[in-house]
Amino acid sequence: MATADISTMAIAGLHHPPTSHDLAISLAVYNSLPHPEEQPEVSDDTLKALGELFVRHGVHDIFGIHLLHGHFAAPESTVLFGVQFQVSGASQACWTKPVPAAELATESIHGHVFRLQSDRTFVPYEFHEGEAGSKAANTGPAFFQKLADFLHCNGLADLIALQLLDGPRDKTNMELLAGPQGTVMMDEKDLIGFSPPRITTGWSFKVGDDGIISCKGNDVYAEKKDTHQVFQDSKPFTTVEALKEALRAEGIKP
């Protein structure tokens, strides 16, 4: 199969708005992903090498990495789309669920997580509101080429995705299942009495004053609340208020 020349192509949802064709590919990519429990751990050596690559290209404040995973089969003609909502005070959370692609045709959206395909192109499979920041949109092709080479040569294209960093990195976000087809990502400090087993699904990199590169697991996935599935058997939530009420009912949100 011929490989794409990343130096001459733009990434949908990052360098240009996604087309209807891009959204259809995104759905197919998401629906092919394994559950997080089915993925092996990302090794310390891999995290170290990726941290060095991101810092070398000066993108560690823009991008991080993500454990490739999905939670459900999204319906036809939809795309995974996340919206921010206020939890309490100044605290924000992100609710992600399948949204009809036609509803997003005229909206401003950007890619949040990107999978490397076999032709060495990056495809977004989860989108967020608004345009990508200028730093991300202006990132040169050399970084994407080197990352594609690293993932391909080390057999990591089915394990690691590229993630656009949103919000502060000094906290840990916990991902919970919200209804049969949705997730909510919240600051773990906003969760009350909630300490289930967790799987790290997102990492970012930082350079200290001493020049040492550190890696932080910013995102974690919790499959269960104690012994109960979190919202998994519920009906789909149709509004943010319905989701917030369910969080309160579960006793994990004030």
What pLDDT is stored for residue 10 in this prediction?
86
What pLDDT is stored for residue 62 in this prediction?
96
> For the purposes of burial, counting CB atoms within 10 Å of the CB of 141, is it exposed (0-12), middle (13-18) or buried (19 or more)?
middle
Q: How far is CA 224 from CA 48, 68, 174, 175, 233, in A?
A: 30, 20, 12, 11, 12
Structure confidence by residue, pLDDT tens digits, 186-197:
887 777 656 666
Whether pLDDT at 226 is above 50? no
Whether pLDDT at 247 is above 60? yes
Instruction: Give the pLDDT band (50/70/90) at residue 172.
Output: confident
What pLDDT is stored for residue 8 in this prediction?
52
Residue 249 three-state SS:
helix
Whole-prediction pTM: 0.86
Whether pLDDT at 217 is above 80? yes
Structure confidence by residue, pLDDT tens digits, 102-145:
999 889 999 999 999 999 999 999 999 999 999 999 998 999 99
What pLDDT is stored for residue 233 in this prediction?
45
Whether pLDDT at 254 is above 60? no
Task: Supply the mean pLDDT for the chain.
Answer: 84
Instruction: Give the pLDDT band (50/70/90) at residue 203.
Output: very high
**Whole-angstrom distance, CA of residue 145 vs CA of residue 147:** 6
What pLDDT is stored for residue 225 in this prediction?
47
Cα 119-120-121 angle, rounded to 5 deg: 95
